[in-house]
Amino acid sequence: MTDFHLTQLGRPSAGFDSPDQAILERVPNPQADVLYLARFTAPEFTSLCPVTGQPDFAHLVIDYAPDEWLIESKSLKLYLASFRSHGAFHEDCTVAIGRKMTEIARPRWLRIGGYWYPRGGIPIDVFYQTGPPPPGLWLPDQGVPAYRGRG
């Protein structure tokens, strides 16, 4: 498993202006023989409305069952932060993140819940997953309630 080279971990990283420029990295999974779930939570995710340029905010919950690779968390933080100046609809942001993580880490399974705060009075929650979860995988609730003044 030498198919990786870390460019951000353990050194200063300036960040990226867009998701297209961001580098999402992976590291070998030392527990690849075990079926387990890893969760990333980003309660302060920000992007821009592609029409108005106004900020949009979401609480992201990303669950994945790693296989041979893990997502390197510093690179994920920088990747998610790159959306702050990126104009895209809620659905596009949520699905793009899930697809990019799947492309890089090739997990056994992945799901992402994008719980978007309302603009114009309507919250938009977006869910993406790569398929049915593997049998025997423990799937905890994502823990984000339906919108009632989330916080």
To which residue do tokens 């905890």 refer? 140
CA-closest candidate to residue 45, choices 8, 97, 9, 103: 97
Assess whether 49 carries a catalytic annotation. Answer: yes
Q: Please confirm, yes or no, whether 56 is among the known catalytic residues.
A: yes
Which listed residue (49, 67, 92, 125) is catalytic?
A: 49
Dist CA 48 CA 56 (whole Å): 6
Element (H, E) at 93: helix 90-105
Among the listed residues 33, 56, 67, 141, the single catalytic one is 56
Helix (H) or strand (E) holding 76: helix 73-81
Kindly list the catalytic residues: 49, 56
